Amino acid sequence: MLSVSSVALATSNDITSQQYKYKKEKVDEMLKDVLKTEHQLVPKYCRSIAISNVSKEELSIAIPAIKLAVLANSTSNENVIIYLDKNQEAFEDIKSLLSNYPVKIDIYENSDELVNKVIERQSDESSLDERRLAIITKSTKMRETLASTINSLGNNPKNIIIDNFAYLYNTTRSEYDKPSEEEIKRVYDQIK
């Protein structure tokens, strides 16, 4: 689990360098963290779930993870909102799947828009499920997606907990646990 919040600072140069340092620290933590898959505990008590990077080819692998996360959260919270990345290849298929569940669906185009939408809907910062955002994506994109979200949260004064839930796609669990040098570079490229 990764908790991200920003720090108010005095000058714009200080803000830029301090925010980058803060984002880098959070990405460093994330790279050491254990990332969850559909074979582990599903993130629960999340009012917000974001689904991204699903292609048509891997849809059959992604569906069980999506169903599990949606069911685990919507049965205990009728206010669950599913945020769908409209740029993913399987967008229409996932949207159709979600129409079978009693959840609200909202569409986003990038992590900045996602974070803004989650914060707009946040009504109680002290509530764990209000503050929690579960990100569902393929294992080969999880760290990159988390880093992009950390970057978007960096300028935001609200405290949000980011949780991850990936389905293994084109990788083994041991490969997923140890990011390659190329993946680490792509992850750090997400923060500015």
Contacts of 136 (CB under 8 A, 6+ apart): 49, 50, 51, 52, 62, 65, 66, 69, 165, 166, 167
Structural class in CATH, domain 2-189: alpha beta
Condensed to tens digits (0 to 9), the pLDDT of residues 109-158 reads 999 999 989 888 877 666 777 778 888 888 888 888 888 988 888 766 56
Contacts of 160 (CB under 8 A, 6+ apart): 3, 4, 5, 115, 118, 119, 122, 131, 132, 133, 153
Residue-level pLDDT at 36: 63
Distance from the first to the final alpha carbon of the chain: 22
State if pTM tops 0.85.
Answer: no
Residue-level pLDDT at 110: 95
User: For residue 57, how far is the Cα from the chain centroid?
Assistant: 21
Q: Tell me if residue 73 falls in helix, strand or coil.
A: helix
Q: Is 165 exposed, middle or buried (0-12, 13-18, 19+ CB in 10 A)?
A: buried
Residue-level pLDDT at 175: 72
> Cα–Cα distance between 13 and 31 in angstroms, integer?
27
Q: Chunked in runs of 10, what are the mean pLDDT values of the chain (192 residues)?
A: 33 61 81 64 78 92 88 85 96 96 94 90 72 85 88 73 74 74 88 83
Domain boundaries, the chain: 2-189
Determine the residue type at 95.
K
